Chains A and B, each alone.
Chain A
Amino acid sequence: MTKIGEWVEVCTSDAIAPEEAMRFSQGERSFAIIRSLEGNFFAIDGHCSHEKVHLADGIVDGNIIECPKHFGTFDYRTGEARALPACVDLRRYEIKVDSNVVFIKI
């Protein structure tokens, strides 16, 4: 069992292309792992705060990930809701890359 605050291995760093997102689930919880155009990794809650739709299917553009359902947007660096109908912020999680492996602190 993973404990709160533990680093968990997600994938190798080449598994996500720049400006793409990936779904990562741990038990009941699900996250969206995003790789920016510059190649940095970020992690936020997987589901949109408007309805329960996974953000990993959405478009990544600049610092924004857009929900595929009604196009609410979030700043994936902070989890902040940026455009309607999303108005509740998401949680962000720490990410580290170690020897080409991506880890999330959940």
Chain B
Amino acid sequence: MKQERAMIIVGAGEAGTAAAVALRQGGWPGRVILIGSEATLPYERPPLSKGLLTEGEDSGPKFLITAQRLRELAIDYLAGVNVLSIDRATNTVSLQGGELLAYERLLLATGARPRTLGVPVDPECRMVTLRTYADAVAIRQTLRPGCGVVVIGGGFIGLEVAASAVSRGASVTVLEAGPRLLMRAVPASIAERIKAKHLDAGVRIELDATVAGIEAVEEQSLVSLADGRSFPADLVLVGVGAVPNVELAQAAGLAIEKGIAASDTLATSDPDIFTAGDCCSFPHRLYGERVRLEVWRNAWQQGAIAAANMLGLGSAYESVPWFWSDQYDETLQIAGIYSNSDAAVNRDLGDKGQICFYLAPGGRLVAACGFGSLATISKDIRIAETMIGRRMRPDPDALANPAIAIKSLAS
């Protein structure tokens, strides 16, 4: 008997799970098979570097969906299973264990994995990266008052772990290779505010600190820098970015460019195969270039759009990129993407925070980055997001003037 072809999703993260639900909501009557290499129910990653490290030992992951809901939606969830290869000639995937499954359409939502350091590391060292719930539990178990943590990389994940660790009483040092924190992610003035928060909390920050190697010395790990300094640690967290999981797609001969290359409808170079989330790159209409995003909202929105397009809808993904990070009691939100050629306009909200707007040559608003309390910045970033999507050209003087409501510039 010929096997019924299913909608198959590889990767049960934010993107894959959203797609599975959206396939049902979009009316697909056949099988939906969601396959993920992790053994738990799908869960949210953002809390891994935040609340999960500071909460009690018994707090578990924040699940994206319940087992009951998966049953109600008749989604077959294969947990703890790796997809090993794709055969595009027969529209099948092969699973670890040897099983073959036939697909009508396939979604690759394989996410990303932590980048490795690329310097000699003694295998005896307690060095960890953070991507999964299991990683977070391992980190949480080590965080005791007085324990020494060295964080390599002053990016978002490194800084969030630093904040969580210091609040658990650990003594924390952040080593950043660049001349300042969050070099590509936020403007210098906001990076300064974030740095000040960390220093106040007792985190030590070393800039221009290039790691040369890590050795095990007695019970500890010794991180040495190119300039000869060294830092002992009970735990070394490496947070130096992520690389997309493209190998499965690459081995199947799909086009790869910055990630699994998709069209704006998230179809890969094979019209039966779609991709979404951290693993995929796509041309963004607002920015006129191919981008790959590693942000949570993008992942689930793309999952939903890819599902609709697997059902034949053909809608383009053109949402404004949006990201947040928590730093102590304050929040950072970024809408849009900016580059060095864009002009920065600063809106100083005093002690309460700051928003930096970016205007492309010609005056179009392309990004806004805010730092401060949620109540201070979130509404304005939300309105800025709408303005970016509408390609508006707001008056820079008005943007800079805190006495003028951003809302009044949006119509």
| Dominant SS among interface residues on chain B | helix
Contact B375 A68 (CB under 8 A): yes
Contact B18 A84 (CB under 8 A): yes
Contact A84 B379 (CB under 8 A): no
Nearest chain A CB to B393's CB is how many angstroms away?
23
CA separation between A53 and B374, bound complex, in Å? 9
Q: Which of B44, B322, B378 contacts A57 (CB 8 A)?
A: B378
Contact B324 A84 (CB under 8 A): no
Contact A57 B374 (CB under 8 A): yes
Q: A68-B374, A69-B374, A84-B18 are in contact. Are A57 and B300 (CB under 8 A)?
A: no
Q: Is B180 an interface residue (CB 8 A)?
A: no
Instruction: Enumerate chain A residues within 8 angstroms of B379, measured Cβ to Cβ.
Output: 57-59, 68
Tally A residues with Cβ within 8 Å of B: 11
Q: Is A91 an interface residue (CB 8 A)?
A: no
| Dominant SS among interface residues on chain A | loop
Q: Is B284 an interface residue (CB 8 A)?
A: no
Over the window 49-84 of chain A, the binary record of Cβ atoms lying under 8 Å from chain B Cβ atoms (1 yes, 0 no) is 000010001110000001011110000000000001
Q: Is B24 an interface residue (CB 8 A)?
A: no
CA separation between A89 and B134, bound complex, in Å? 30
Q: A57-B375, A59-B382, A84-B18 are in contact. Are A69 and B300 (CB under 8 A)?
A: no
CA separation between A58 and B379, bound complex, in Å? 7
- A53, A57, A58, A68 pick with most chain B CB within 10 angstroms: A68
Q: Which of A19-75 contact B (CB under 8 A)?
A: 53, 57-59, 66, 68-71
Contact A69 B18 (CB under 8 A): no
Query: Which A positions have Cβ atoms within 8 angstroms of B?
Result: 53, 57-59, 66, 68-71, 84-85
Query: Which B positions have Cβ atoms within 8 angstroms of A?
Result: 18, 44, 296-297, 300, 322, 324, 331, 374-375, 378-379, 382-383
- A68-B382, A70-B324, A71-B382 known; 4 other A-B pairs, CB under 8 Å? A57-B379, A68-B374, A71-B297, A85-B44
